[in-house]
Structure 1
């Protein structure tokens, strides 16, 4: 009776096939186990696994053989595929390129036993928060920031205030850089955070307002104060060399005319000395 019930269930699977595609997600580098959903296999059973309709593995119970086609699918699975005795497929050290559709097929009835849609996500970088002085603040008491990530795909970048979502941006393209602005008041508490996430994991960076929030106007003021000082130094150096040249020329002219050398009491020397200081 047990065998009869088993065969009856098997027959239904063979006639109707798979009624849904199972979604599986992992992070790059992890292993994934795709089950055949079989607890018992008949002795004359033969099963195959396909990736995007390309055969990658086969189990033959009658011959007691398991064959993995490591050279299939452009060699992307080389030495990373295994089959267990139930026909389940194990993929180790997953890569982004492993994403796709996996189908296990009963070769006797040529019908799918299971279909998986596998998505392999890249490791997420930690968001970087920087002060944004290029943004014109609407208030002298506020400060602008940028939260940025680089070389990401299929992610969402968000600003949170506590547990409340303030803003977000999503992108599905490959290897793109994202930045999201935020403006806060100087006196606010450090309850802001920037979060990057995909469907299976996330990374968070907390905003330290005390450390990062300097007014851009202060920075500009320092630059304006420093600029005249730098110009004064440059002007003084220029005047020094001009005076030095004139002094040398006057000394040579005086020597030629009278044969006497210019003493330090010469008015020209004092004039240049005053300019030099």
Structure 2
């Protein structure tokens, strides 16, 4: 391509992400814009001006525009993916689209189950936003909330029957969410700074077993044992490094130990093996909170 200058725009947020300016022999990628969404993942070809995005993620979906002195081209990038989400029965859960804004010509559709029953949609062209909470015999009546900015879907007062596949389709995305709603959750409490072990209740791991530990409502993988490939991994640099150097896996039982606990480690932990699925709700207390609770209880006794 013969060009004097070239610019790449991410059009959903109308943001410049890369440019080449030939007279100054400069080539720049702005991978810190949009909260660092593209950090270390943009590559510009200084000969052709082509843009490469590595390690594609759902939030990269959208329209990209190439602009030069003589050429203007648009590219629609569609990203497909699957996400697992967990929640305790009765609590709300949000299925996030990964968008901060919906394009003016976009149509967002949320569908439920194997039959892809339409339960919610946004049509930006017509300015309509609809939740079909009477579908499926009213299973979701008064429990669906749509975000008109992002297209994300929230289900309130979750029930066991809500466990299923949810599909988000738009002009740029095709996402599948697997929602797990638990009624049996093992509650674990620990003081900040202490260690805690989440027991798998397994005596041993078999040769064909796959053991996975995930954290949070979005089930981010934090540890894994794969006996077939003899892989033993802790992913303690994910989630902004909150678990860095704190995770210990028992290679015999698959139990997980978290050391030097902080309040940011509180939340849901899911264990999944070939034969077992367990959910733990971890509560972390600060010492100041414990002292406050003690004196509150003591003061209450004095009053009576």
TM-score scaled to structure 1, two decimals? 0.42
Looking at secondary structure, tell me which structure has more helix per residue. 1
Q: Which protein is bigger by CA-based radius of gyration?
A: 1
Looking at secondary structure, tell me which structure has more strand per residue. 2
TM-score scaled to structure 2, two decimals? 0.38
